[in-house]
Amino acid sequence: MIQAAEGARIAGASRIIGVDLNASRFEEARKFGCTEFVNPKDHTKPVQQVLAEMTNGGVDRSVECTGNVNAMIQAFECVHDGWGVAVLVGVPHKDAEFKTHPMNFLNERTLKGTFFGNFKPRTDLPNVVEMYMRKELEVEKFITHSVPFSEINKAFDLMAKGEGIRCIIRMEN
């Protein structure tokens, strides 16, 4: 959610709604541009219905980052009929199946997939460096932990628990 929120912020989105089951991530997400949050556990309705009600019909763009096929379906079903675009970033299990009603496509919703955000290092990296130099992209706020190489397992634990965004692993002499 954090990287998607940062991308939406940089692209000029005025309203960024983060959706996550882990409520502890919400405060951190504010630093990256999230203006509102939805925890599906807090609602009796499906999250796509909650988002449709919040946005008068559905969101313009959704980005799914977990690879959970149910979250992917919800991300697609929460976009607005006629112009909504859902982008799937997370990688699902190899046996997962994406099932939705065909009317979701006939209503002119768009479903896209991407690996690494379609990032092309040769042409895109200079742009990212320029954004960083102009302070439009704040890389430092992604770094939540730093550990010596001898504690690399701690970095993996932080990642598995969802307690960190990025962890620097310092090589020791």
Q: What is the pLDDT of residue 173?
A: 56
- Of 99, 45, 53, the C-alpha closest to 80 is 53
Q: Where do the DSSP E strands lie in the chain?
A: 17-19, 36-38, 61-64, 85-88, 110-113, 143-148, 166-170
* Domain hosting residue 80, numbered range: 2-118
* 83 shares a domain with 140: no
Q: Which residues of the chain have pLDDT under 70?
A: 173
Q: What is the pLDDT of residue 45?
A: 94
Query: How many structural domains does the chain have?
Result: 2
* 155 shares a domain with 92: no
Q: What is the pLDDT of residue 56?
A: 94
* 90 shares a domain with 32: yes
* 95 shares a domain with 14: yes
* 131 shares a domain with 82: no
**Centroid of chain to Cα 151:** 28
* 136 shares a domain with 114: no
* 93 shares a domain with 34: yes
Cβ pair 38, 19 in contact under 8 A: yes
Question: Which CATH number do you get for residue 26?
Answer: 3.40.50.720
Q: What is the pLDDT of residue 166?
A: 87
* 130 shares a domain with 60: no
* 155 shares a domain with 72: no
